[in-house]
Structure 1
Amino acid sequence: MKKSFSVIVSALLLSSVLAGCVTGKDEVAKPKSVTIKALFMKQAGYSEDAINEATDAFIKANPNIKVEATFVPYEALEQKILVSNGSYDAVLIDAPWTAKFVKANLLKEVTDKVSDADRKDIFDGALSAMQYENKLYGMPWLNDVKYLFYNKEMLKQAGISSPPKTWDELIADSKILKDKNIVEYPIVWSWKQAEALAVDFTLLSASFGGELVKDGKPSLNAPANVEALSFMRQSMKDKLTNPSSPEYLEEDVRGVFSSGKAAFALNWTYMFGMANDPKESKVVDKVGIAMVPGTAKVVSATANGGMGLSIAKDSKNPDETWKYIQFMASKDFQKKHAKDALPIWKSLFADKDVIATNPELINVSKTQYEYIVNRPVIPWYGQLSTEMQVSVQQALFDKVTPKESLDKLQAKALEIAGK
């Protein structure tokens, strides 16, 4: 009896131990529940509804990860990140902020998290905007560039068969349009003393073969940059550029073009849809879109207005955050919302469903995206941009020559960079 009792006790003890082992194993295997916080902007690109819908789908596929998304206006986004102090895990950053945020130790490096195959399928300009000193600090997400918009009807009236491919052609076409009294000021720009002016000067300089910053050092008064600024000033002197351009932002440009008071305009993707909206425009079905003109040196150069998703340096859940970023930047998400923002993935530009969203825009974009230029990826870009806006406008208003303006800017930039 004692022997039988001992056997029973031993069996019970063994089963308890085994059960404990299984339970322990289950606890180890069960993924921990975490909450990650993501910071997005309210306007432009993907809508809040689209982001929230995708976030819900991510949570459903990953029940152990909860995501709380916060939306703020673009104007508040940079400051929100700078003072976040651990408040967010995933943050949406604008291309010019990358270097500044890295220097401030605000972003996690993700160089090893993006495969070679994915890198090859992402447009170089979009990827390089998220890099600093050859290291990657985020995933490109919201794509946008500038295009040349033109009024098809005006060009037809002037006997111009195709949009200009070079700046020289743009000027020649504009003179024809003006001489035939088709439009008083053929070209309109967003040259107000704001970031819009820095964007246009960046792309114009690049199209003339220039660089504003080379190998981390200012090169603002290089001959190609002087040539670009001289082009801007001369177009105003010749009364081909709308004289109010130095007071205009992108929305003003859209308004002038959409009212039929300009034949040419540079603007972001959104203008194509709005200029073809009867509620917003008088030039519906007359709007053409083409690559930004170039020169004999450069086929084209367009400014990168894209943004990326990064992991905050002090995130306590970087792996889960990266999983969420990958989901939001996936081909599935970007294909589904291609009508809101064009994809970062080259392969999607050959997808019939993506093409169907806007054939004319997609056709131009797949080539234009090969000529993306970034505003200088440097920690002191914000200061440079402010000084650049002032210097460029001084030349536009003929207070100084383009060369004098950029010589002065070069000296100021060297001072800023040396601090």
Structure 2
Amino acid sequence: MTPLVLAWVALGCAAVPALLYLWNSFLFREPPAMSATVSVPPISVLIPARNEELGIEACLRSVLASARVELDVIVLDDHSLDRTADIVRALGREDPRVRLESAPPLPAGWCGKQHACFQLAKRARFETLTFLDADVRLQPEALARMALFLNHSGAGLVSGFPRQVTGTVLEKLLIPLIHWLLLCFLPLWGMRHFRWSAFGAGCGQWFMTTRTAYEKVGGHAAVKASLHDGITLPRAYRRAGFVTDLGDATNLATCRMYRSASGVWYGLAKNAREGMAATGQIGFWTVVLLCGQVVPLLNLVASVGRQLSHVPGTDPRITSDELAFPLAATALVFTFAPRLFATLRFRQSWFGAILHPVAILLLLAVQWFAVIRTLIGKPVGWKGRAHPNDSPTQPS
């Protein structure tokens, strides 16, 4: 492939997601604001918790501070080996809205989180259910506004994308890609106008649904082996005939998913096989992301180098190298613009944005790591548990 052809390919691979990001940025909105007259249904807040002693208290206190909504808060202790249950039990003595439940043994073929959520739904008192990860912190109006969003959208399932808090270098590089991938590659217009399961997407950190819809879908039993409910649960709803939707919860919630480099690596790898690293998709994503997010920078550097080595006056015609330079520069603008705009809007790390091509290389490395682990028969598990498909039985 000549430098000029490569420059055109890179420009196309960078421009398409950048333009889709621009379109999606107008469609990705916050849940509707509260008014003085609006009423909010009571909500059962369902929190699966396995070894969450570092954050469960902060999560619960943020939930209990919710305004204008009646709450039923249930934490399912999923065989924690730390003080999770003790902390929840103490908060339950302070506030009777908090209930602690213990998870039954994990059946074969189930992911721990999906089994915990399924059990939580059985114990919920109210018709409106919200599934919340233990590392999410809510603002006082978050639950009420999400309930309005569920009602106004006409969807069977909605999810909010919290602001992602990052600390370590790998967090700053990789975690902000959650928003970037969503807005660059999922056409939100199509998601809202068609019920195709391929348009199903959400954020597993925070879902809200109704009991009626949940039971029609089959609940989390429909995705019992999944480690990536952010994709699989919305798709299950769509296969059951429901619309799903998602909203910008940057100002309503925060979440710090992982707190170490190894946590980021293995946490993203556990989800990879149901996302970009799925069979038949990894090649496509590798080519598209390399050509659109890494090659433009390499093209620009190479083009500058070739022009610097060119002897002036030897050929008065416009050379392919001279044509490649503006194409590479334009492609690089398309590469960085969405990441920089996302950094501003979602209050992300500038360090990660500046090193965006490096972040893409790391993201692809995680995907291929997950593929290789699966091929050798050792798919990535999570929190001390093997992958549901790794063995016929699951440890508690």
Higher Cα Rg: structure 1 or 2? 1
Fold conserved between structures, TM > 0.5: no
TM-score by length of 2: 0.28
